[in-house]
Amino acid sequence: MPSEAVLPAGSAAADPPGNTAGADPALRSAIADQLGRPASVEYSGRPALVEYSGRPAPGLLRRLPSSRVAMVGLGLILFWTVLAVLAPVLPIAPPNAQDFAAMGHPGSSARHWLGVDTLGRDMLSRLIWGGRTVLMVAPLAVVVAYAVGAALGLLAGYYRGWVDTVISRACDVILSFPLVVLYVILIANIGPSMLNIVLAVVLASAPGIARIVRGLVLSLAGHEFVAAAHLRRESDLYVMLVELLPNCRGPLITDFCLRLGFTTITIGTLGFLGLGLPPPTPDWGGMVQQATAMITVWPHMALYPCFAIVSLILGFNLLADGLSELALSD
Please report, as residue ranges, which positions from 194 to 233 form the binding site for other proteins (by CB under 8 A): 223-225, 227-233
Q: Which of 106, 131, 268, 276 binds other proteins (CB under 8 A)?
A: 268
> Is residue 148 part of the contact set for other proteins (CB under 8 A)?
no
Q: Whole-number minimum distance, CB 54 to other proteins, in Å?
A: 6
> Is residue 104 part of the contact set for other proteins (CB under 8 A)?
no
The CA-based dihedral angle spanning residues 309, 313, 318, 324, taken in that order and rounded to the nearest 10 degrees = 170
The neighbour count for residue 215, using CB atoms within 10 Å, is 22
Q: Whole-number minimum distance, CB 145 to other proteins, in Å?
A: 18
Interatomic CA distance for residues 118 and 305, integer angstroms: 14
Interatomic CA distance for residues 262 and 264, integer angstroms: 5
> Is residue 6 part of the contact set for other proteins (CB under 8 A)?
yes
> Is residue 319 part of the contact set for other proteins (CB under 8 A)?
no
Interatomic CA distance for residues 51 and 319, integer angstroms: 33
Q: Which of 31, 60, 156, 313 binds other proteins (CB under 8 A)?
A: 313
Q: Candidates 49-57, 88-96, 102-110, 150-158 — which segment interacts with other proteins by CB under 8 A?
A: 49-57
Q: Whole-number minimum distance, CB 138 to other proteins, in Å?
A: 13
The CA-based dihedral angle spanning residues 289, 290, 296, 302, taken in that order and rounded to the nearest 10 degrees = -60
Q: Which of 117, 243, 255, 283 binds other proteins (CB under 8 A)?
A: 243
Q: Please classify residue 224 by burial: count the beta carbons closer than 10 Å to its beta carbon, then call 0-12 exposed, 13-18 middle and 19+ buried.
A: exposed
- The alpha carbon of 85 is separated from its chain's Cα centroid by a whole number of angstroms, namely 19
Interatomic CA distance for residues 206 and 150, integer angstroms: 8
Q: Which of residues 15-34 bind other proteins (CB under 8 A)?
A: 16, 19, 21-22, 24-26, 29, 34
CB distance 190 to 173 below 8 Å: no
> Is residue 91 part of the contact set for other proteins (CB under 8 A)?
no
Cβ proximity to other proteins, 14 vs 144, nearer residue: 14
